[in-house]
Chains A and B, each alone.
Chain A
C-alpha cells in the first residue's frame, strides 16, 4: 500500500515533468490545452487525496526521507493536519486555475513563457507545504519564488513589468535570507536542520524573539505584510490573470503556512508579547491595504491591494490565537486560529474568483483601467454576476463566506478581556476597531470596483464592444462563486473540517458544529452567540421572492423604458458619470489626508479665459517614501561613490592593497 505522502510526492514529480515537457512543446498549438489539462488533472487528483485524508485520517502523521539534497541530511517530507489543510488550498487553487487557464490561456501571446513556469510554480508550492527540514523548505521556497518571478516577467516588454519583476526579486531574496537566518537560529548549536529536531529542542527567549522577527520579515514579505508589501501590488497584477489569482489566492497562503508552521509548531510555546507585534502589524496591514485599494483605478492592482488587507485580517486572527495560546486559553486560541484558517480558505476562493473576473474583463476589453470601463453588466452578464458574488463575499457581507470568518474573528476579539496582560487588554479593542474599519472600507472598495467596472454607461469603445468570455473561464468562476455561497451557508462543515488542525497545533478545538440544530454555528454557547447562514440566506430569498410575487400578482407588473431621469438634467456623455477617482473623493478626504498626504488642487481660470479648469489630486505612498526611498537613495549614493574606485591609477591600487594588508595584520595583532 503506497502512502498518501508518496502519492503527493509523485504528483509533485509529475508537475515537474509537465513543466519540463512543456518547454519542448510550448510552441505547438495544442500545448496550452495539453499543459493546463495535465495540471488540472494532477492538481485535482492531489486535491481529492488530501481532502479525503482530512476527512478520514486527519490526525495521522506520515513522513518520508528521500536521498536528495545534501547527502548527510536527505530531504524530509511530512504530512500532518496543518499541511493537509494548506495542500487542499494549494491544489484546489491549482486545479481551478488550470481550468480557467484552459480558456484564458488561448489569448496568451507568449505561452512558452508561461506554461513551463506555471506547472513548476504549482510543484513549488506543494513542496513548500510538504517539506520537513530547513534545507528542503528553503529550496522549495526559493523555487516557488523564482517560478512566480518568471511568471511575473512573462510579459517583460510591457511597461512597468520589468520594474515589478526587479522589486519582486529583491524582496523575495530578502525574505528567503530572513527565513534562512530564522531556521539557522532554530537549528541550534548542533545544527540539526530537520523540523522534528527543532520541535523537540525549543528555543531560548532571545532566540525566539529573533526567530519571530525574522519569520515576520521572511514569511511576511511573501504574504504582503505592511511595510514589506511594496512588491505585491506591482508583481501580482503584472502576471497573466490566472497566475495573479494563484499568487494572490494561494502563494500568499503558503507564506501564512510558513508563519503558522514556525510560530505555532516549531517554536514551542509562544510568549504573549509576540502576539502584540503580530496584532499591530495585522491591523496596520488590513487598514492600509484596503485604503490603498480604494485609491486604485487599475482593477488588478486594486485586487492586489485588497489581498494585502485580507492578509492583515488573517494575521490579526493569528495574533489573537498566539495571545490566547500563550495564556493557556486553548478554546479561545482554537476559535481565533479557526477564524484565521477559515479566512485563508475564503480568501483563496474569492480572490481567485475576482482575479479571474478581472482577467475576463481584460480579455474582453483589453483594459485594466476602470476609468475606461463601465456598463459591462449588459455585455458580460455571467462574468458580472460571478464578480458580484465575489465582491459581496470579500466585503464580509452575509450570507456569503467572507462574513463567517470575520464573524469568528470578532467573536475571538470578544474573548480577549479575559487575557491577563494589560498591553493586550488596551490593544485588542483598538485592533477590533481596525478590523471593523477595514471590513467597512472593503465594502466601499468593492462597491467601487463593481460599480465602476460593470455598472453605469461604457466609458470607452472597448467597453462598449465587450463580449462574454469562453466557457472554461465561466465554469471556473461559477464553481468558485458557488463555493462562496456554500461555505457561507454551511460554515459548520468547514469549521469541523478544520478542527484536526487546531487539535494538533493547540490541543483544543471548537465544539462540533454539524451537530447543532439547523446547522447554525455556535462558537461557545447559543445564548452567547450564534449565526446561521443557511437560514439567513433562506429568509432573504423567501421574503424577497414573496415580496416580488405579491406585488407582481396583486399590484402592478407593468414597466416601460425611458431615458434616465437624473433630476431633469440629461447627462449626454458617459464622462459625466462618477469615476473611480471621484467615487472615493469623500473617503480620500476623510482618511487620505492622513494616510497618503493626499492633496487636491483646483485651478480655475479667471473669468473670460478659455483655459480649462483643472483638478489635480496628489497621493503619496507614504511607506515607500519613508522606508524604501531612503534605502534606494543610500544604495545609489554608495554605488556612485564606489564607482570612482574603478578608475584609479596602478599606484593607487597598489596603495590600497598595501593598506588593506596592513589593516588585516593590525586586526590579527589586536585580536584577543
Chain B
C-alpha cells in the first residue's frame, strides 16, 4: 500500500524485533497494556513511571527516536487543554497552588487523565510506527475482525490518496482561474467542490475496483504467509502487558 498524504510519517520502516513481530500480537499486546494503564489507581505515582519506562524500552528496541514520538503527541492537545481546565472547574475542597485556589479532586483528575491518555497515545504511536498499514489490517483480520470491516478499511486507506490527489488538482484548477475562497460567501463554491470531489473520486474508485477485480481480487487481500502465528511471537508480545500488570497488581496490593 502506498504511503499517501493521510498516512505520511506514521510508519517508520525498519528491521527491529518489534517490526518483525506479527501485527496481531502487537495489536493484542497494545490493547491489554492500555487496559492495564486505565485500571491503575491515580493515587499511586510509581506504576506510571514503570509504564513509561516500559514504553521507553519498547521504543529503544524498535529504534523509534523520542522526537518522533513527541511530534505525534500533538494529537492529544484538545484533551490536554480540557484536563488543564479541570482544577479550576471541579468541586470539592480547594488547595493553594502558587496562591491560586484549585480544586483538589480536579488536580487529581487532571493528573489521571493526562498520564493515562499520554501513555495510551505513546503506545499507539509506537504500534503505528512499527507496523505498516497493510500489516495492521491483516492483523485485525487474524484477530477475528469481520471481513466486511477490514474490506471497508482497506478501501478507505486506498481512497484517501485518491481523494487527496483529486482535491489538490481541483484546488489548482480553481486557483488558476483566479478563485481563492476568502470569506463565508464563498462557502457554496467550496461545498459544491466537495460534492464534485465525491463524485470524481467515486468514479475513479470504481475504475480502481474494476482493475482489482480483473486481477483476481475476491474481497480479501492475498496473504503472503499463511502459517499460524508462532507461540514465541505471542510470548514476546505478552511481555509488555505482563510486566505492566505486575506493576498494577503491586499498586492495588499496596493501597
Say whether A associates with B. no
A interface residues, Cβ below 8 angstroms from B: none
